[in-house]
């Protein structure tokens, strides 16, 4: 696949790229210099790995196929600062998360790094303090608005969190920072402030956030998600009872599963919606846009959407479940 085609695929499946021109330049450098640009995503080890993680993992997998070196930061220190448990609990979860991320299709060349392996180093902490001297309290607080566990009685640790994340990007020599759109403010802080400390500004790639099965924000604490190792019967139960209003696209979690998980994860050229002849027979779709239009115009019924989502999502998740079962 040509570089331009690869870039278009990434553009189509993410929320935004800052900037497309810079990412194109990094991609071109692979063939001209032979150097592998470094792309990373950081995950707080907390709770289950669920289908809300898959858009990010699909993106880094595409970058990996394009020639990028991929780093997965298991951000145990960040999880501790964000009140996600004791270090012992967090590190146990980190090991499980690592197995899930690897099972999602990343190559063996993927580098997994535990944040605490370097974040107490003198040089790293000095850079955090240097960044603190040029970052306003308001900017640090706003950067944590969408990620903070404590919304009311905020902790000082939540001011340190975005500074550490920005320094992670510098310390790991990252060219491309990947994350959900909720990471945008922290990434923008890194783009603006790291050059003032003598580091390069990262290219930023942001993926969409999936809605929970109840129509609210997907969250491990709410349980409104489908885990990547969820049994088939549980996938069926959760999808069949999920929020899915007829002909409504905005805020429809089942449609989002199709858009960001099923369509990107299918191996064949078309997606088939199986239904009885009495209801129009099977429908075939080459792309998500046609599929969404049919639902919005009432040519697809919510029950057909759900029953087929069960089948297709289980097909996407089965290779992950299989790998995880093998390593038990």
Could you tell me the residue ranges of all domains in the chain? 3-207, 232-326
Going residue by residue through the chain (328 aa), what tens digit of pLDDT does each one get?
555 677 888 888 899 999 999 999 999 888 888 889 999 999 999 778 999 999 999 999 999 999 999 999 999 999 998 888 899 999 999 999 999 999 998 999 999 999 999 999 999 999 999 999 999 999 988 888 766 655 667 778 888 999 999 999 999 999 999 999 999 999 999 999 999 999 999 999 999 999 999 998 887 777 899 999 999 999 999 999 999 999 999 999 999 999 999 998 775 578 999 999 988 899 999 999 999 999 999 999 999 999 999 999 999 999 999 988 876 5
Q: What is the predicted pLDDT for the residue at 6?
A: 74
Q: What is the predicted pLDDT for the residue at 247?
A: 96
Neighbours of 307 (CB within 10 A): 16
CA atoms of 82 and 79, how far apart (whole Å): 5
CA atoms within 13 A on the CB side of 200: 12
Q: What is the predicted pLDDT for the residue at 146?
A: 67
Q: Name the pairing type of β-strands 271-273 and 69-74.
A: unpaired
Q: What is the predicted pLDDT for the residue at 160?
A: 92
Q: What is the predicted pLDDT for the residue at 150?
A: 54
Q: What is the predicted pLDDT for the residue at 3?
A: 59
Q: What is this structure's pTM?
A: 0.91
Please, which residues bridge with residue 195 across strands?
Answer: none
Asked if 184 and 166 touch (Cβ cutoff 8 Å), the reply is: no
Q: Which secondary structure element, helix H or strand E, spans residue 124, and what is its range?
A: helix 122-132
Q: What is the predicted pLDDT for the residue at 200?
A: 97
Correct CATH for 232-326 of 1.10.287.810, 1.10.260.40, 1.10.240.10, 1.20.1440.230: 1.10.240.10
- Within its chain, how far is the Cα of 181 from the centroid? 9
Query: Residue 287 burial (CB < 10 Å; 0-12/13-18/19+)?
Result: exposed
Q: What is the predicted pLDDT for the residue at 327?
A: 60
Name the E strands within 111-190. Answer: 111-114, 176-180
Q: What are phi and psi of 284, to 5 degrees?
A: -120, 140
Correct CATH for 3-207 of 3.40.50.1240, 2.60.120.470, 3.40.720.10, 3.40.50.620: 3.40.50.620
């Amino acid at each position: 696949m040509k570089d331009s085609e690869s870039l278009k695929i990434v553009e189509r499946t993410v929320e935004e790229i800052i900037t497309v021109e810079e990412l194109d330049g990094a991609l071109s450098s692979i063939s001209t210099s032979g150097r592998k640009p470094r792309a990373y995503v950081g995950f707080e080890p907390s709770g289950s790995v669920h289908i809300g993680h898959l858009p990010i993992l699909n993106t880094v997998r595409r970058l990996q196929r394009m020639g990028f070196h991929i780093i997965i930061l298991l951000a145990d220190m960040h999880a501790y600062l964000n009140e996600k448990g004791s270090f012992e609990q967090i590190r146990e979860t980190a090991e499980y998360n690592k197995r899930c991320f690897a099972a999602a299709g990343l190559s063996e060349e993927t580098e997994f790094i535990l944040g605490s392996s370097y974040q107490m180093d003198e040089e790293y902490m000095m850079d955090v303090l240097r960044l603190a001297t040029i970052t306003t309290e308001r900017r640090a607080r706003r950067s944590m608005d969408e990620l903070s566990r404590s919304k009311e009685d905020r902790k000082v640790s939540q001011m340190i969190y975005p500074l550490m994340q920005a320094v992670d990007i510098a310390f790991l020599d990252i060219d491309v920072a990947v994350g959900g759109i909720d990471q945008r403010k922290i990434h923008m802080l890194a783009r603006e402030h790291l050059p003032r400390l003598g580091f390069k500004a990262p290219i930023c790639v942001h993926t969409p956030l999936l809605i929970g099965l109840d129509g609210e924000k997907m969250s491990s604490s709410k349980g409104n998600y489908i885990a990547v190792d969820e049994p088939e019967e549980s996938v069926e139960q959760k999808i069949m009872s999920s929020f899915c209003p007829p002909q409504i696209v905005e805020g429809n979690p089942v449609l989002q599963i199709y858009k960001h998980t099923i369509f990107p994860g299918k191996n064949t050229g078309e997606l088939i919606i199986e239904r009885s002849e009495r209801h129009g027979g099977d429908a075939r779709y080459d792309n998500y846009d046609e599929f969404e239009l049919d639902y919005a115009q009432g040519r697809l019924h919510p029950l057909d959407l759900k029953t087929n989502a069960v089948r297709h999502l289980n097909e996407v998740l089965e290779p992950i479940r299989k790998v995880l079962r093998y390593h038990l």
